[in-house]
Structure 1
Amino acid sequence: MAIVNRVRECRFFADEMTQQALAEAVGVTRQTIMAIEKNKYNPSLEVAFKIAHLFNKPLEEVFTYEAED
């Protein structure tokens, strides 16, 4: 099982928000956002909710848990 996300897509549709702007808005570093987008790091529940809330989307629309093949 793996957590996958649509953070990059959400940033694109939010007037191409930068990783830095998103990081500042949710209280993490740009490197953390970059790692989340590359699926190298899973955010804490708090950060995941903050990201979803910022984009005005339900959590499960931004982050999903999928079975690996």
Structure 2
Amino acid sequence: MQFLLMKLSLTAPVEQLQKKFPSAIIVGVKKAGTRALLEFLRLNPNIRAPGPEVHFFEKNYHKGLDWYR
């Protein structure tokens, strides 16, 4: 299970926004409280997190970094 977090840029117009690598990656195992940590971090309006797990390392790594971005 993994969650990727990115800071949300509120200063640039939408057409100038770019996808960037996250500044933090949270990796957790089942029943370790990872979902609770993600929900707590989502309370901060400056943190952007994806919806469901992206499973990059175990299911989507073969798709490469372009898919990840």
Query: How would you bin the TM-score normalised by the shorter chain?
Result: 0.3 to 0.5
Higher helix share: 1
TM-score, normalization by structure 2:
0.33
TM-score, normalization by structure 1:
0.33
Larger Rg: 2
